[in-house]
Structure 1
Amino acid sequence: MPELPEVEALREFLTGHAVGRRVTRATPVAFHVLKTYDPPLSAVEGGTVTAVARHGKFLDLAVEPPGAAPDGPLHLVVHLARAGWLRWQDELPTAPPKPGKGPLALRVALGDPPGPGFDLTEAGTQKRLAVHCVRDPAEVPGVARLGPDPLDPSFTAAAFTALLAGEHRQIKGVLRDQGVLAGVGNAYSDEILHAARMSPFKLADKLTAAETAGLYDALTGTLREAVERSRGVAAGRLKSEKRSGLRVHGRAGEPCRVCGDTIREVSYRDSALQYCPTCQTGGKPLADRRLSRLLK
């Protein structure tokens, strides 16, 4: 799943490639992708992309409609979900896309000059990619419920401490909860906890002051490092760039890059976490079942 660093890199990429261009065509290909109907998606056609923003894992393309727009720009808000992606093309096919069983979900063609644009694609059978055409990004429920952005200058160590104070649950789940903290998903929560040398099962409201300070540094440092690593990388290469920078996530069975111990995994119904026993749990493996405690 694209998380904060990759979505931020896509935002920067689109800012350089789409801002100032006219939307000549916006074509939904998969029936499930469009989540709104008023205003219709066709309302952005003929408009100009004026800015690209990020809200957690959401991309937000501001499009100024043609003619007078007293209500301001429309917003094309995209959530790529688990298996979605944005694929930029300097030359889009001239023939309109045909609905089918392929990964293509939506195509946006841009002008000035004509030719470029991007496709939104989604692999797999679980179709969760979502596109909203709205007048205000806050109309999107997922955006409205977002917690603070960990890379916002106002997100201080004190703000993080206050955020954790009422969370009597495992820190892994807290970091992934978009209503608590915007933009961190399964992969980067593993990476953050490894950098903080902290068990994913530790209770958030039981952290000491020193542990909280260390986790804050790991959170902001890991995300900033990933953003810098992704900066300037072409959209098509961002996925492989993300994988190459991960130290524990997706590396079960491999040696830890820090201590050499074998990276372990805890599997759930639809996801898994990875961790290093030596770095994070005092050498003790975690039981591979939901709501587990350390094995004794």
Structure 2
Amino acid sequence: MNIIQVDHEKCTKCGICVELCPTRTLHMGENGPEEVKPEGCIACGHCVAICPNTAIDNAKTPLSDQVVLENFPVIDSDTAYHFMRSRRSIRCYKSESVPRKQLLKLADIARFAPTASNKQGISYIIIENRKTLEKATAVVIQWMEENQSRWWSFPLHIKAYREKGIDGIFRSAPNLIIATAPKDFKNGRENTILSLAYLELYANTLGIGSAWAGLFEMCAFSNYVPLLDLLKIPETKSITGAVMIGYPKYHFERLVDRNPIDVIWLSDDGRSDKLNKDFDNISR
């Protein structure tokens, strides 16, 4: 059964869909685009999304499921530049939980991130209950106590937790989103990084703060059984990442600078030049 359907009355044989197909599943035939190796289709949807005449359909990415893009770029570059710079790692949260609908929006946007060969493969566990996170904190602290030599900050977090009840694992965030992937999935961590980056940027538009739960990840990546049991992680899956989620307790008033951009230009004649000083002002 063909996965590609072409409306030959609409098709002008422009060849754009063939040129953009990343796996060369399509080639230009006498009557328009045709399948060469349908098993190679990775369901990226390029062929359907790019056609200027809505002449092509793909069973894996149906035209009926695609959304018309009215304007491109969607936002101007200055707005995007300042928006991306405004994202900060939040480590002080309000106690109120983020509503389930908003948490679901974050997980939903994460699935649209680019992934290796469009394999996707990431699923999510969303923790709504702060009590569950308190139990997870205790488990991670226990793991730290068993592995104090692994990282310089472990003794500090253990002491703060045991003596003052300070949660240095989740920073008292009310919610946590955990990414998981099948254990035999090759690009689980890489796809997770891209997906959670999308999630974090989108969270800003909802007034929601986030930060990577690095200490939790260290424990999870060691396959610490008490933690996996607490979170009911299926035996067929591995935790591939996690972000703390909640409403920021404070709001940043300024955009923070970073190290100067470091670029080397490599010209056609083989010479290389350091970044031109004129680029010092690109953000101003």
TM range (shorter): under 0.3
- Higher radius of gyration, 1 or 2: 2
* TM-score, with length taken from structure 1: 0.26
* TM-score, with length taken from structure 2: 0.27
Tell me which protein shows more helix as a share of its residues.
2
